[in-house]
Amino acid sequence: MDQDNGPAAGAVDEFSLIADLFAPLTRGDPAARGLCDDAAFLPARPGWDTVLTVDAMVAGVHFLADDPPDLIARKLLRVNLSDLAAKGAAPVGALLAAAFPRDVTPDWLRAFAAGLGRDLAAFDLPLLGGDTVATPGPLTLSLTALGRVPAGQGLERRGARPGDELWVSGSIGDGALGLRAARGQLPALAAADVAFLADRYRLPQPRVALGPLLRGRAGAAMDISDGLVQDLGHLCRVSGVGARVEAARVPLSPPARRALAGGMVTLADLLCGGDDYELLFAAPAGAVAALAAAGDPPLTRIGTIVAGAGVSVVDQQGVTLPLTRGGWRHFRAAP
């Protein structure tokens, strides 16, 4: 427990919060010890690597402060499951560190826990532990996800080779458009398109089934959270290669196509915007053909890994497109 700076989280009692709302989310997994101990005990599994990832989310930065609490919880879990999927890992469990504003209400907390519980059940995972504190600042959440992959078979960013095909799952740019949709900034778009895009922003679909299927097929993989172009740049840098993306091949959802056709967004915005949570991977020629033919989720070849460095995006005539913005950066000064 932390130093007592007054009542924890307003009228909310931290211990009953853990016992009433979070303990059920262990879903009976003995490793969590019912959230009645100092720590969880996860049995090791010989022959497997444990894959660990953590993502923090801050109100006003990663979600809107008045977003529905259940969706905040579900996105928090899903962005971490996306990281595990990108490493070819199957999820095993999660730990939650939560700093709730002092005036958080019991109703808000109940809805948050219900959303988290809903997705933990959907992905068949236990909550293994965490920490609960009150903060004078904005709601700040951190979730650690644990996954497993057969020893040595995890997918890394550094394995791309010149000549590899470059692929993405799903569609690109919906996250960035979805943020605008959620903020009411796409008034010219049909209501159904606005709803689709806002949902893509608020509730990403982590590619948990696809990730493990890429083991032994993809040479390098990552999830796209900060924009296709910027994230691809990271993959290229650690692999010591460059990439050539054919803009016309990049898969766009029908609502994103309509927003583009209506001049509401530029292609650069879609290629550089964040929050897609699709998988980006490089694979030797033909290695994912059968997977792509299966079509679930849709996989699209968007370009090629080349010798050298840097990401170029070319149009159908092979002309390099100028990209004015790279992608999301937390510590970049405002333009």
Q: Which residues bind ligand ADP (CB under 6 A)?
A: 1, 18, 22, 35, 37-38, 96, 98, 127, 129-132
Judge whether 275 is annotated as a binding position: yes
72 contact choice in ligand ADP, Mg ion, none (CB below 5 to 8 Å, kind-dependent): none
49 contact choice in ligand ADP, Mg ion, none (CB below 5 to 8 Å, kind-dependent): none
CB 243 within 8 A of CB 232: yes
CB 131 within 8 A of CB 98: yes
What are the DSSP calls for 296-316, one per residue? SS-EEEEEEEESSSEEEEE-T
Judge whether 38 is annotated as a binding position: yes
Residue 38 CB, shortest distance to Mg ion, in Å, is: 4
* Phi/psi of residue 258, nearest 5 degrees: -70, -40
Name residues whose C-beta falls within 8 Å of residue 292's C-beta, 6 or more positions apart in sequence.
Answer: 167, 299, 300, 301
* Phi/psi of residue 283, nearest 5 degrees: -145, 145
How far, CA to CA in Å, does 82 sit from each of 36, 91, 292, 320? 29, 10, 19, 30
- Dihedral of alpha carbons 323, 329, 331, 334, sign: positive
Cβ nearer to ligand ADP, comparing 2 with 315: 2
* Count of beta carbons in the 10 Å neighbourhood of residue 329: 12
Cβ nearer to ligand ADP, comparing 95 with 172: 95
Alpha carbons within 13 A on the beta-carbon side of 64:
14
Which one, of 310, 134, 170, lies nearest residue 233 by Cα?
310
Name residue 29's amino acid.
D
1 contact choice in ligand ADP, Mg ion, none (CB below 5 to 8 Å, kind-dependent): ligand ADP
Cβ nearer to ligand ADP, comparing 7 with 298: 7
Say how far apart CA 212 and CA 199 lie, in whole Å: 25
Three-state secondary-structure class, residue 93: strand
Judge whether 328 is annotated as a binding position: yes
107 contact choice in ligand ADP, Mg ion, none (CB below 5 to 8 Å, kind-dependent): none
Judge whether 199 is annotated as a binding position: no
Judge whether 225 is annotated as a binding position: yes
Judge whether 67 is annotated as a binding position: no
Contact segment (CB under 5 A) with Mg ion among 32-40, 114-122, 177-185, 201-209 equals 32-40
Instruction: Using only the alpha carbons of the chain, give its radius of gyration.
Output: 21
Angle at 100 between CA 97 and CA 105, to 5 degrees: 135
296 binds Mg ion (CB under 5 A): no
130 contact choice in Mg ion, ligand ADP, none (CB below 5 to 8 Å, kind-dependent): ligand ADP
Among 3, 4, 6, 38, binds Mg ion (CB under 5 A): 38
Contact segment (CB under 5 A) with Mg ion among 31-39, 121-129, 207-215, 243-251 equals 31-39
Cβ nearer to ligand ADP, comparing 127 with 311: 127
192 contact choice in ligand ADP, Mg ion, none (CB below 5 to 8 Å, kind-dependent): none
Judge whether 326 is annotated as a binding position: no
Known binding-site positions for Mg(2+): 38, 53, 55, 83, 131, 223, 226
Which segments are annotated as binding site for substrate? 62, 275, 328
Please give the annotated binding residues, written as ranges.
38, 53, 55, 62, 83, 130-131, 157, 223, 225-226, 275, 328
